[in-house]
Amino acid sequence: TYLELCDRQKNTNVRLSLPAVCIVWQTAMIILFGVFIRYNEESSPRWVEYRKAKNISSDIENDFYFRYPSFQDVHVMIFVGFGFLMTFLKRYSFGAVGFNFLIAAFGLQWALLMQGWFHSLDYSDGKIKIGIENLINADFCVAGCLIAYGAVLGKVSPVQLMVLTLFGITLFAVEEYIILDLIHAKDAGGSMVIHTFGGYYGLSISWMLYRPNLDQSSRLQGSVYHSDVFAMIGTLFLWMFWPSFNSAITDHGDGQHRAAINTYLALAATVLTTVAVSSLFQKHGKLDMVHIQNSTLAGGVAVGTAAEFMLMPYGSLIVGFCCGIVSTLGYIYLTPFMEKYMKIQDTCGIHNLHAMPGVIGGIVGAITAAAASESVYGHEGLINTFDFEGEFKDMVPTRQGGHQAAGLCVAICFGVGGGIIVGCILRLPIWGDAADDNCFDDEAYWEVPDDEETFPQVPQYNNHMRNKDV
C-alpha cells in the first residue's frame, strides 16, 4: 500500500506549476502596481498641505483613524477567522490555514487593482489612489473567494485555488460595480456582494468538480477532538469581529456605530437558536460542533446589508433568531440532500453559512430600505444613509427596495454563472488535484511531521509487542 500511495501522490506534484503561478502572478502584480497604484491624499506626505487646504482641524480626522481598528479586525477575520474555521478536518489543518493564507495574500493584491479600476481611479492621471478603505475592500473581496474555498476544501490543489481566486476576484469586482454603482444598491456588510456571490460561486464550482467516489476519503472527512477546538478559534474571531466587518466601510459617525450594534445583536440571537436546533435534532439532545462552529455566524451574514439601516435592535434579533434556525437545519437536512441528489459536495457547508443567510440578508435589506422614511431617519439622515445624492437625488425608499432586490439577483447570477465557467476550467486534468481516495489529506501538498514521538507511551507498547513477537 505504500507504493500505491506514492503512485497516487505523484499526480498531486505541483513542484513546477505552483511556483510558476506564484512567481509569475506576483511579478505581474508588481508591474501593474508600478503602472497604476499610488497613495491617496490621506496617505501621502502631501496630507499636511491637503489638510490645510481643506481646513481640516486635526490629523485625527484622517480616514485612517476612523477605519484602521475595523480594518485590523477584518484582517483577523480573513486570515485567522476563515483560516482556522476550516481546520476542523482531522488531517487537513495545514491546507486549511496555509492555502487560506496563500490565496488571501494573492487575492488582496489583485483586488486592489480590480476594485481600484472601478472605484478609485483618478482620471486626472490615470492612477489608482489607495488608502485604508481600499485595504478593507480588498479584504472584503478576498472573503468571497475564501467562502468559495470552503465548498471545495480538501478536494482541490493550491494551483486550482489560485485560479479560483484570480477569476473570483475579477467577477467580484464586476458584480460589485454593477450592484453598488450601476444599480445603486447599498450593501455595507456584503450580504449580497460577498456572501451570496461567494457562496454560489463556490457551490457551482463544487458541482462542476463533483467526485462520485469521494467516500473513499471518508476516513479523513471528519474532525478529531483538538481539530474541533482549533476550529473554534476561527469561529470566535469571526463572530467577535463581525460587527467590525459590517461597519468597516459604512458612513463615519452614526453609520459605523449603528452597523456595529445591529451586528452584535443579530449574532447573539443566532447563538441561542443554533444551540436550540442542534440539541433538538440530535440523538440524546447532544450538541454538534459543526453547528456551533458555523451556524452561530449566520446572523452576521444576514444583517450585512441592513446593518447600517434602521433595522432596529429587535429587528436584528429577529434576523439572528431566524438564521440560527435556518442555518442549523441546513446542516442537518440540506447538506446531505445536496450531496446525494444534487451532486454538490460542500465540505464546510457554505450553503448554510453564507449562501442562504446571504440571500436572507439581501431580502432583509430590500425590505428595510423600502420601509425607510423621513420620520424615522430624519431628512438629512435618510439622504446620508442611502446616498440619495447626485444622479440618485430623486430616489425614494420604496424604489431603493426594488434596486436592492435587483442587486441580490445580480449577485446570484454572477455566483452561479461564474462558478460554472470557472468550474469548467478547473476540471481540466492539469491542475494536480488529488485522487478521490486521497482527498482531505495534507500529505498530498505538505511535508507532514511524523506524530509517533508525541506520545511516549505508544512506542513502549510497540516495544512491548515486538518483544512478545520475539
What residues between 395 and 434 interact with a copy of itself by CB under 8 A? Answer: none
CA distance 64 to 43: 8
In the block, cell 433595522 appears at 311
CA distance 116 to 127: 9
Give the x-and-dash track for 271-290 against a copy of itself (CB under 8 A).
Answer: xxx-xxx-xx-x-xxxxxx-
Among 279, 270, 273, 274, CA closest to 291: 274
Task: Measure CA of the first residue to CA of the last residue in the chain; give whole Å.
Answer: 25
Instruction: Tell which positions 353-372 bind a copy of itself, by CB under 8 A.
Output: none
Backbone angles phi, psi at 125, to 5 degrees: -130, 5
Q: Which is nearer to a copy of itself, 10 or 393 (CB)?
A: 10
| 462 is a site residue for a copy of itself (CB under 8 A) | yes
CB 333, min distance to a copy of itself, A: 17
Helix (H) or strand (E) run with residue 127 in it: strand 127-130
Q: Which is nearer to a copy of itself, 424 or 464 (CB)?
A: 464
Give the x-and-dash track for 212-251 against a copy of itself (CB under 8 A).
Answer: -------xx-xxxxx-xxx-xx--xx-xxx-xx-------
Q: Which is nearer to a copy of itself, 96 or 411 (CB)?
A: 96
Cβ neighbours for 70, distance < 8 A, ≥ 6 positions apart:
136, 244, 245, 247, 248, 256
Q: Which is nearer to a copy of itself, 143 or 310 (CB)?
A: 310
| 13 is a site residue for a copy of itself (CB under 8 A) | yes
| 125 is a site residue for a copy of itself (CB under 8 A) | no
Give the x-and-dash track for 292-321 against a copy of itself (CB under 8 A).
Answer: x---x-------------x-xxx--xx--x
Compute how many other C-beta atoms are within 10 angstroms of the C-beta atom of residue 247: 27
CA distance 27 to 138: 19
Instruction: Tell which positions 146-185 bind a copy of itself, by CB under 8 A.
Output: 158
CB 424, min distance to a copy of itself, A: 25
CA distance 330 to 338: 10
8 A C-beta contact, residue 162 and residue 21: yes
Which window, 76-84, 201-209, 344-352, 402-410, contacts a copy of itself (CB under 8 A)? 76-84
CA distance 309 to 300: 14
| 44 is a site residue for a copy of itself (CB under 8 A) | yes
HSE-CB for 110 with a 13 A CA cutoff: 27
Instruction: Tell which positions 16-35 bind a copy of itself, by CB under 8 A.
Output: 16, 18-20, 22-23, 25-27, 29-31, 33-34
Q: Residue 47 carries which DSSP code?
A: H
Contacts with a copy of itself by CB under 8 A: the residue count is: 154
| 133 is a site residue for a copy of itself (CB under 8 A) | no
CB 72, min distance to a copy of itself, A: 6
